[in-house]
Amino acid sequence: MPEDMHQHGHSHHHGAWTAEQLKRLQHPDREQWMPRGPVMAAINAPFGGRVADVGAGLGWLTFPLAVAVGQSGRVLAIDPSEQGISSIRERADREGLSQIETLVAAAESTGLPDDYLDRIVWHTMYHDVHDRRKAIREMLRILKSGATWIIVDWEKEDTDMGPPQEVRMSPDEVTQEVTQAGFRVVDRWKAGPVTWGITAEKP
């Protein structure tokens, strides 16, 4: 796959979100068109486990995951946006959720140890990762064997919200990329009205 496949000049947020975009992400209607339930069920975060929310934004999944893993677990909120990460950090401190760790980093290089995580989730960010091949290898490295990576992204069709259709990816395309890198796709599911989900396992 050519490295520049993803460079067709769309600018809808590579890297850091602005405060304005982050606010939009928190919109109360979001739960209707992007329900958390099916995603949380697919992640199935183990109590006491280590889960990474990569591309955490403002922590839309980070906080429910923190409840799921409990005080003895760890949720790593990882995002290139310092604004988003400091907002998660402040809220975690305020709510006494010491199980949340924050990390300003890109998916391509998290700096985490090998075979470290029980779960990874990427929510609506796969299509937007700069160097996907490198990021997929990184996910393979930091997951434990038998652990799962949950990928949710936009259906490849025109919707009222979300990125332009031409940058979206189908579950087939994503399945092919992660399988080529060494993952096993163990489940495909409907994440919500405008999103699909894939569960990939590290052998």
How confident is the model over 31-78, as pLDDT tens digits? 788 899 999 999 999 999 999 999 999 999 999 999 999 999 999 999
CATH number, residue 89:
3.40.50.150
Residue 20 lies in a domain: no
Query: Distance between CA 158 and CA 169 in Å, rounded?
Result: 12
SS (H, E, C) 26-69: CCCCHHHHCCHHHHHHHHCCCCCCEEEEECCCCCCCHHHHHHHH
Ranges in the chain, pLDDT < 70: 1-28
pTM comes to 0.86
Residue 149 lies in a domain: yes
Q: What is the rounded end-to-end Cα distance, in angstroms, of the chain? A: 23
Query: Distance between CA 56 and CA 144 in Å, rounded?
Result: 20
Residue 55 lies in a domain: yes
Return the pLDDT at 31. Answer: 77
CB 131 within 8 Å of CB 3: yes
Residue 30 lies in a domain: no
How many domains does the chain fold into? 1
Query: What three-state secondary structure class fits 10?
Result: coil
Residue 164 lies in a domain: yes
Residue 12 lies in a domain: no
Residue 115 lies in a domain: yes
Return the pLDDT at 125. Answer: 94
Query: 160 CB contacts (<8 Å, ≥6 apart)?
Result: none
Query: Distance between CA 152 and CA 196 in Å, rounded?
Result: 6
User: Residue 132 corresponds to which tokens in the numbers above?
Assistant: 């996907």
Query: Distance between CA 125 and CA 132 in Å, rounded?
Result: 11
Return the pLDDT at 32. Answer: 80
Residue 14 lies in a domain: no
Return the pLDDT at 26. Answer: 61
The parent domain of residue 115 ranges over 35-201
Strands 184-192, 74-79: pairing is unpaired
Percent of the chain with pLDDT over 90: 80
CB 174 within 8 Å of CB 182: no
Query: Distance between CA 161 and CA 154 in Å, rounded?
Result: 10
